[in-house]
């Protein structure tokens, strides 16, 4: 049941007259492969409505998404459990997924349940409208419009959020429990409104009692924020190194590690400054990991 509990975030409950296979790809794929006869118009309308609900729920969780993000998340197979530690790789949409995403967004725009805006790179992003949020609230799903998220933001902020979203999308598909940047900003995550030791991540991943804290660093921090980061990492190291349950994460959780998606220069500087604070090289790479090859901060291509 854990797989279906996870998929409840984006889909209606399964109708009782049929049994859904455990390798369920999506409502569209299931109906298309379940029956040996063509779907009638009624079935098609039901599938369309369910796809619309899944899109609305995804937008509510992430704040805004692109067509390709929705296609990658909602129209391909999800793993029931992670097979390995997070690799932070972005999910790639399929051609059929892109078509389904485009059709669903077109219908939702016609119903005025989503808003769209042109991002700094020229791509189109979508968020919940007042009507879209209201339709979720009527189903008992707490939701708020994302109109304020579309009004204005810098290119740097857009790229930062795109990377955080791609990491979250790919991790959901791989079977991790994910707190998105939008959910974290609203206090809907493990650390609540106050954060963990006074800090909030860009994305949080959880599986088998382990917690991976994701930080996207595309530019150098100012001196005050950087000093705060160093002190926070000291606190995490002490907590992760102690015997017994974590004081910061609670008894049911333990640290995986802190994962930085960053430039090579940021990695070099952080390692050097942690060394000055008494960290050994072994301690640094036990508690922290760096990825500076998956995402190009200077020339990110969006579509």
State residue 27's pLDDT score.
32
Helix/strand/coil percentages in the chain, nearest 5: 45, 15, 40
Q: What is the DSSP letter of 17?
A: T
294 found inside a domain: yes
In this structure, are 75 and 216 located in the same domain?
no
**Per this entry, what is the length of the chain?**
303
Q: What is the DSSP letter of 190?
A: T
Instruction: Judge whether 193 and 187 are in contact, CB under 8 Å.
Output: yes
Query: How far apart (Å, rounded) are the C-alpha atoms in residues 96 and 75?
Result: 8
102 found inside a domain: yes
Domain that holds residue 88: 1-153
Model confidence at 13: pLDDT above 60: no
Residues 6+ apart with CB under 8 A from 43: 31
pTM listed for this prediction: 0.84
Query: How far apart (Å, rounded) are the C-alpha atoms in residues 46 and 244?
Result: 50
In this structure, are 261 and 128 located in the same domain?
no
State residue 19's pLDDT score.
37
State residue 8's pLDDT score.
46
170 found inside a domain: no
In this structure, are 15 and 129 located in the same domain?
yes
Model confidence at 302: pLDDT above 80: no
Lookup: tokens for 179: 């707190």
In this structure, are 183 and 88 located in the same domain?
no
Q: Is 175 exposed, middle or buried (0-12, 13-18, 19+ CB in 10 A)?
A: middle
In this structure, are 1 and 147 located in the same domain?
yes
Mean pLDDT of 112-134: 96
Sign of the Cα pseudo-torsion (95, 97, 102, 106, in order): positive
Residues 6+ apart with CB under 8 A from 117: 64, 124, 125, 127, 150
Residues 6+ apart with CB under 8 A from 28: 47, 51, 75, 100
Give 106's Cβ-side CA count (13 Å radius): 6
In this structure, are 59 and 112 located in the same domain?
yes
* Pairing, β 114-118 against β 203-207: unpaired
176-215 pLDDT, tens digit per residue, is: 999 999 999 999 999 999 999 999 999 999 999 999 999 9
The owner of tokens 């910061």 is: 248
8 found inside a domain: yes
149-161 pLDDT, tens digit per residue, is: 998 778 888 989 9
Query: How far apart (Å, rounded) are the C-alpha atoms in residues 200 and 203?
Result: 9
């Amino acid at each position: 049941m854990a797989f279906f509990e996870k998929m409840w975030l984006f889909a209606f409950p399964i109708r009782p007259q049929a049994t859904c296979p455990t390798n369920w790809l999506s409502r569209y794929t299931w109906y298309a492969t379940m029956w040996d006869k063509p779907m009638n118009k009624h079935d098609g309308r039901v599938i369309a409505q369910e796809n619309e609900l899944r899109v609305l729920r995804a937008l509510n969780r992430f704040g805004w998404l692109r067509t390709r993000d929705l296609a990658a998340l909602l129209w391909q197979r999800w793993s029931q459990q992670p097979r390995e530690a997070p690799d932070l790789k972005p999910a790639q949409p399929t051609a059929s997924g892109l078509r389904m995403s485009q059709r669903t967004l077109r219908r939702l725009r016609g119903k005025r349940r989503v808003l769209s805006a042109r991002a700094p790179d020229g791509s189109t992003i979508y968020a919940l409208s007042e009507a879209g949020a209201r339709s979720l609230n009527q189903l008992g799903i707490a939701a708020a419009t994302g109109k304020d998220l579309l009004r204005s933001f810098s290119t740097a902020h857009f790229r930062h959020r795109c990377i955080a979203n791609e990491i979250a999308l790919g991790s959901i598909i791989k079977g991790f429990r994910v707190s998105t940047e939008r959910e974290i900003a609203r206090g809907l995550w493990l650390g609540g409104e106050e954060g963990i030791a006074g800090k909030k991540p860009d994305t949080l991943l959880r599986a088998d009692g382990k917690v991976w804290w994701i930080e996207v660093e595309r530019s150098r921090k100012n001196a005050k924020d950087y000093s705060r980061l160093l002190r926070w990492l000291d606190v995490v190291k002490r907590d992760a190194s102690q015997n017994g349950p974590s004081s910061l994460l609670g008894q049911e959780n333990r640290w995986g590690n802190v994962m930085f998606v960053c430039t090579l220069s940021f990695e070099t500087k952080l390692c050097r400054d942690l060394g000055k604070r008494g960290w050994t090289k072994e301690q640094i790479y036990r508690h922290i990991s760096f990825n500076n090859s998956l995402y190009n901060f200077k020339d990110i291509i969006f579509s």
